Structure 1
Amino acid sequence: MIGRSVIAVLASTMALSGCMTETRYNQAQELVRGSPALKRDAIERCYAGSNRSTPARKAEMARIMNVSPRSDVARIYCTRAFNAIASGRISYQDFRDRSPRFIRAIQGR
């Protein structure tokens, strides 16, 4: 299914901060906007990748996101990011550049 492959690319990109085209981002955005099941799948795939981060990276992300280092940092990051993508709060450019808008989204603001 094309949806799952686009979601897989976006989720792995979220986790690994790799390269993604604007077209693929827009496809994934429409998919997660229109399908709660695909959004859950995307969050799970992102989480699987992000959860492999080093403890130092997780502590850094916890500080950026204003959450406790003892919390499930990877899950919070992925959930907040995909909710912002699905709602249209962050654009491809925000995602790619890790703009202030993206930072606010992962901070839950």
Structure 2
Amino acid sequence: MRGSADQNFSGRLVDEGMITLRKRIHEMNMIERNYEPPSDWMDWEKRYYTKYDSIICDALGVLQTQLMNTRPSFALGAMALVAISVPTSSALVFFHLVQLAKTVLAGVPPS
């Protein structure tokens, strides 16, 4: 007997379908708006609105190429470093904001 995970190819088919669905929804929204960005966006956002998908694909292609041309241990190490440093720096910023809020609420000027 086949398990339930085998019937949907371990979720890969669903993930690939969702990417295609999101891309089609984005394209339909652009067509409905005649490729015009929303009026409340800034000028730089309006400039990149129609080229956004190709810019992201190019950037990820460059990243993938660079990772494929490096040793696997170096690529995994770099990804681990980023995965560890982002939450650490976020926690540090949060800690400083909490300390600032405490000093402001206590009426003591920050040192």
Q: Report the TM range for the smaller structure's normalisation.
A: under 0.3
TM-score scaled by structure 2?
0.25
Which of 1 and 2 has greater Rg? 2
TM-score scaled by structure 1?
0.25
